């Protein structure tokens, strides 16, 4: 896979060139190593990141974002946690608890330095870790793309676009 392959999927060439080496490293580290896994992973991270454009969640705050505050299921128990631990990385990891889990797995203090999750190479590596830690390799192996999308997103947000990217990714992995 080359930056041009990602560019043919709609990613700006400069972003493809910047992020592809880190994507490939993360994919290798977390066993995203078959055509099925690689295509599904690419489709999901490209959708979640706006074709590698957003490594940090855009903040309004929107009504949905204001609901991040005080969410015990995300571990957001301190004032300002919703914003501080907003979606970052190519898979948009969100919440104090998820930052803690990612940081422990990746050997980085993300509670003290949450902004690191929105920068390469951690943005790519954290997406691959999240994918692996949430059983996405096995779901990709089964071919159940709807279940995979729900595992990544919690619903089927953007399903048609994710499927379009999946079809394109299958041709380049």
* Domain residue ranges of the chain, discontinuous segments joined by +: 3-170
Q: What is the predicted pLDDT for the residue at 102?
A: 97
Q: Which value, in Å, is the radius of gyration of the alpha carbons in the chain?
A: 15
Fill in the DSSP letter of residue 114.
G
Instruction: Work out the angle at residue 135's Cα, subtended by the Cα atoms of residues 124 and 27, and round it to the nearest 5 degrees.
Output: 30
Predicted pLDDT at 6 = 96
pLDDT score recorded for residue 154: 85
For position 153, what pLDDT does the model report?
Answer: 87
Closest CA to 172 of 23, 63, 55: 23
For 97, the token pair is 């608890």
Residue 56 has φ and ψ, to the nearest 5°, of -135, 135
CA dihedral 58, 41, 128, 111 (to 10 degrees): 20
Reduced to 3 states (helix: H, G, I; strand: E, B; else coil), residue 44 is: helix
- Residue 48's pLDDT is 95
- Which CATH class name applies to 3-170? mainly alpha
pLDDT value for 104: 97
Q: Which of the 8 DSSP states describes residue 74?
A: G
Closest CA to 172 of 40, 55, 28, 13: 40
Q: Which residue has the tokens 């190479």?
A: 121
Distance CA 86, CA 115 (A): 10
| Residue listed under structure tokens 């301190």 | 78
Q: What is the pLDDT of residue 64?
A: 84
Burial 43-76 (b: 16+ CB within 10 A, else e): bbbbbbbebbebbbbeeeeeeebeebbebeebbb
What pLDDT is recorded for position 42?
98
* pTM of the entire predicted model: 0.93
Mean pLDDT in each 10-residue stretch from start to end of the chain (173 residues)? 95 97 98 98 97 93 88 93 95 95 96 96 97 97 96 91 97 93
């Amino acid at each position: 896979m080359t930056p041009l392959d990602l560019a043919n999927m709609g990613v700006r060439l400069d972003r493809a060139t910047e992020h592809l080496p880190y994507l490939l490293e993360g994919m290798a580290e977390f066993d995203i190593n078959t055509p099925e896994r690689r295509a599904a992973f690419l489709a999901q991270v490209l959708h979640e990141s706006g074709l590698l454009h957003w490594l940090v969640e855009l903040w309004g705050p929107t009504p949905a974002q204001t609901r991040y505050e005080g969410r015990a299921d995300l571990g957001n128990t301190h004032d300002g946690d919703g914003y501080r631990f907003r979606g970052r990385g190519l898979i948009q990891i969100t919440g104090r608890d998820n930052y803690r889990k990612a940081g422990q797995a990746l050997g980085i203090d993300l509670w003290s330095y949450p902004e690191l999750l929105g920068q390469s190479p951690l943005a790519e590596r954290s997406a691959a870790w999240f994918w692996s830690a949430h059983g996405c390799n096995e779901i990709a192996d089964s071919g159940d793309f709807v279940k995979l999308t729900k595992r990544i997103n919690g619903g089927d947000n953007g399903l048609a676009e994710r499927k379009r990217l999946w079809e394109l990714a299958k041709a380049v992995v």
